[in-house]
Amino acid sequence: MSVAAISKPGTFANYSKSMFLSKSFGYALRGVLYVALIQQEGRKVQLDEMAEKLKVPRHFLAKIMKTMVKEGILHSIKGPYGGFSLNDHTLKSKIIQLVKITDGVEQFNNCVLSLRKCKSDNPCPLHYQMLKLRDDMLAEFSAKTLGDLLDEKNPDFIRSISTLA
């Protein structure tokens, strides 16, 4: 799969011109995983609880979670008994989907040293070493699902994202 084929400008992109994931991606991932944790207890997650437990600014998290619902990653119901929940597609969603939604994948085409003219015909000192890392990273994000993260052998993994640990 080519980077160009999956490129989509991110709604909450924190573009830095180098190949790193934003806080938006981290908050989205932690938010979805937190919803999965709470849903195992048989309830929906309210935004205020999620923001408090994840130690994330509520307003910022609200925007991210709204986008997760709009993009079909999560389901939400308004009202006092509402909240966020998983849908049939959540745990089958690839990690790359969250990257595309929050950051876009064009960052993987940028020079790791933030040099403007770094390309194969004019490489920076780390260009070829980083190509392999970038390709491996994209392959992992494209292969792994959100559900795969929950199946880790470390049963406390999911709890490590919040203050429940």
**Residue holding tokens 């986008």?**
67
- Identify the top-confidence range among 7-11, 41-45, 63-67: 63-67
Q: Where are the domains of the chain?
A: 21-104+146-161
Instruction: Encode burial over 14-36: b for 16+ CB neighbours within 10 A, e otherwise.
Output: eeeeebebbebbbbbbbbbbbbb
Average pLDDT over residues 59-75: 97
38 close to 129: Cβ distance less than 8 angstroms: no
Q: Alpha carbon 63 to chain centroid distance?
A: 14
CATH architecture under which domain 21-104+146-161 falls: Orthogonal Bundle (1.10)
pLDDT value at 42 more than 80: yes
pLDDT at 10: 42
pLDDT at 159: 65
Rounded to whole angstroms, the Cα distance separating 11 from 114 reads 22
Q: Which two tokens stand for residue 29?
A: 């991932």
93 close to 152: Cβ distance less than 8 angstroms: no
Q: Which two tokens stand for residue 78?
A: 């308004």
From 19, 36, 50, 47, select the one nearest 147 (Cα to Cα): 36
pLDDT for 136-156, tens place per residue?
A: 999 999 999 999 988 656 666
